[in-house]
Structure 1
Amino acid sequence: MGDRPTIYAVAARCGVSTTTVSRVMQDETFGSERTRQRVLATALELGWVPNGAARGLASRRAGIVGLLFPDLGEPDVGQEESPLYVDQVIRGAERVATHAGQAVLIAALKASGGKNLAYSVASKVDGLVIMSRSLADKDVAAIARMVPVVLLAHRPGRRSLDHVAVDNRTGARDITAHLLAAHGYENIVFVGGPEGSPDSSERFAGFCEALAQAGRTLPLHPAAEGGFTELGGRTAMERLLAGGRPPRAIVFGNDEMAIGAMSVLRTAGINVPGDIAITGFDNISVSRHVTPPLTTVRQPMRELGEAAIELLLARIRQPDATRKTLYLSTELILRESCGCVSSLSATSEREELRDDR
């Protein structure tokens, strides 16, 4: 108990009075911006929660859970996830929370000031779901000392916290193996998302596993990076075309990059899949409406949000239960962009229609 952070520790670290710390935590307009930022950052670093918030957390009476994700509107920030992906995750989270009688406090964290907003949200909720690349690891750890936390799509390995993710590696391995075995394509490359993205890294690893199983030479890194955006996909495709002999097939790390690349190929008069086969990942709704329809991997985006909230509510009820890591399965969706005739099952079609709603 002696190691628990206190208001006195925050005040001493900042060189201010405990009254100043208390006023800063209660009044967003109190004090200078410099003082406010110093107090908020120190409180977050030490994992100190104001007494009123702590009492609410201890009694579990807030009836609110939080969801934090990177601000998708900032340049070079939030490219880890597309707005379409985040929308589906939020819908799933809201569905489970509402059914459980909980409200959801949703916050997009900017690169600047994101830690302070995260701390503010943490002081108002019973627990948090934190999406990958929303906060630095040290800040996630600090918040996890304040409230129960479930990580969503973070890099595997943090065993001290509950974690929900998609089996990205298997999905990428399956789609690459299909290009190799069903179509016999020789020159296949991978276009990844942002550097440091856990999802992109796992999908590239699955791509390499399929190549290894087929006895192919393994690349040291993706052929290009497209930032998980449509614009990034267009740029990556332009670079691949400018590099000389273009690949016969391209495994894109997500659908938006693949769709951007297809627009470049269409403008250049290059046939998909006759000249270059294209695949994506995610199975966003527009993927089946482009020409040709996009072969992809369905990841259960809405189910991710549902599972994360379910795991968080279970953690709130039983704080000392064994930590869990859940990996949700993917599904290969074959359409025409890889050279197949569309073969969606009736079940998959119903799931796609549901995801549109």
Structure 2
Amino acid sequence: MARATVYDVSEKAGVSTATVSFTFRRPDKVRPKTRERVLQAAKELEYIPSGSARGLARGSNGALGIYAFDMLIERPQGSGAEDVSVLGEDVPAEPDVLTYPLYVDEVLRGFELECWKHDQGLFLGAAKGRDDHQAVTDIAGRVDGLAIMPSMFNLQLPLELLCKTMPIVLISMDSEKKLPAAHVFCDNRSGMHQLLDHLIDVHQISSLAFVGGFNAEDVSKRYEAFHEYLHERGVESMEWFVDDSVAGSDERLVRLCEAINMGKVPRALVCGTDQTAFEVLQLLEDAGLSVPDDVIVTGFDGILAGRLMKPSLTTVRQPMEAMGRMAARLLDERNGKPWDESVTEVLPVRLIPRESCGCAG
């Protein structure tokens, strides 16, 4: 199905093309009743406004896009560093890189390399807030296909509309509605089984707890696999210990703090992501607990920072660069044509034992 143009919306709403453009770019310049008429026409026509080619003939843009809410964080979450002036702008003097979504960099690298391989241009997009839908529709109008990174805010995006108008790849995202898109996952269940087998069989661990909020689908799937497999292995987990706080919030890891104060920290803490593990390691160090002698800590993702930390982090490595490459390759193969049904690609993972569980780094 051909995409609707600004001229189609203009004709259906009975307004000029300039009014349609203003409705999406400068809604404050359009009368409310007129704006409502234009938006209704756009909805009925399933129109996505183009960010760069409103007046160009239809055809391939020769570019792919990747979009995330947290890709372009201007400064670290929760950073207390004093600001310094660089090129006239205030930036943190000593940013804590562990507060950035580091996995995004590796996925993006793979996506970028695959675009380069197939001579595709690349557009990066990121929302400035949870309700910033214009950012995703803006980038969608510039590209022949779009990959979307996971975020708790993605359910608020017009995903159904996007999937009807262009090929969409959802990275580490599932959908109960089974949207006509490509879903690229790592094998969370296999990874959690590998990790728990290692802790139980190699280190003889029988006291474990999962640490991580459920604001990401990957973490939820990892917790489900954690709970189910421990039950299968006949090992009990500390259910109350699950922490559902959000990274960067003032009340992060409250239950872990309570457990430390009560002296009820289990022998092993299985973290939903590497970045959660980094926070846990810092909290345990501040509390005077040694890793791995007092507490074993593990992560999940396998980002580079985990290898460089002291102690180095035991983790499950998901092939993030390969995920980015696959997303770009799937989009390139569609040549701008949306999927008719849901497609799923699952990539393998592997356990990497390191110092934080007592293995050699």
Q: For this structure pair, what is the TM-score category when the shorter chain's length is used for normalisation?
A: 0.7 to 0.9
How far has the Cα of 1:218 moved from its partner? 5.6
CA–CA separation in structure 1 for the residues paired with 2:254 and 2:42: 39
Pick which of 43-52 and 294-303 moved more.
Answer: 43-52
RMSD: 3.6
CA–CA separation in structure 1 for the residues paired with 2:238 and 2:37: 47
Please tell me the residue identity of whatever aligns with 2:127.
L
CA contact (8 A) 2:4 2:48 kept: no
Instruction: Provide the residue aligned with 2:203 in structure 1.
Output: 183
Larger relative contact order, structure 1 or 2 (CA cutoff 8 Å, min sep 6): 2
Kindly provide the CA deviation profile for residues 175-222 of structure 1, in whole angstroms up to 9, marking residues without a partner as x. Answer: 1221112112121000013x3420111110121132022112466576
The DSSP-based 3-state class of the residue aligned with 1:114 is coil
Please tell me the residue identity of whatever aligns with 1:59.
G
Instruction: Provide the residue aligned with 1:209 in structure 2.
Output: 228
CA contact (8 A) 1:189 1:251 kept: yes
CA–CA separation in structure 1 for the residues paired with 2:23 and 2:249: 41
How far has the Cα of 1:285 moved from its partner? 1.4
CA–CA separation in structure 2 for the residues paired with 1:9 and 1:130: 32
CA contact (8 A) 1:89 1:301 kept: yes
CA contact (8 A) 1:122 1:146 kept: no
CA contact (8 A) 1:69 1:130 kept: yes
- The reply to whether residue 59 of structure 1 matches residue 59 of structure 2 is yes
Percent identity, please: 30
The DSSP-based 3-state class of the residue aligned with 2:65 is strand
CA contact (8 A) 1:173 1:209 kept: no
Instruction: Map residues 7-18 of structure 1 onto 2, 5 A cutoff.
Output: 7=9, 11=13, 17-18=15-16
CA contact (8 A) 1:234 1:263 kept: no
CA contact (8 A) 2:13 2:41 kept: no
CA contact (8 A) 1:230 1:258 kept: no
Please tell me the residue identity of whatever aligns with 1:84.
L
Instruction: Provide the residue aligned with 1:100 in structure 2.
Output: 118
- 1:151 and 1:39, CA in 2 relative to 1: closer, same or farther beyond 3 A? farther
CA–CA separation in structure 2 for the residues paired with 1:239 and 1:308: 41
The runs of 5 or more residues in structure 2 that have no matched partner are 79-98
How far has the Cα of 1:86 moved from its partner? 0.9
Normalization by structure 2: what TM-score? 0.78
Normalization by structure 1: what TM-score? 0.79
Instruction: Provide the residue aligned with 1:48 in structure 2.
Output: 47
CA contact (8 A) 1:65 1:128 kept: yes
How far has the Cα of 1:161 moved from its partner? 1.2
Match of 2:150 among 127, 132, 155: 132
- 1:220 and 1:103, CA in 2 relative to 1: closer, same or farther beyond 3 A? same
How far has the Cα of 1:92 moved from its partner? 0.9
The DSSP-based 3-state class of the residue aligned with 1:224 is coil
Instruction: Provide the residue aligned with 2:87 in structure 1.
Output: none
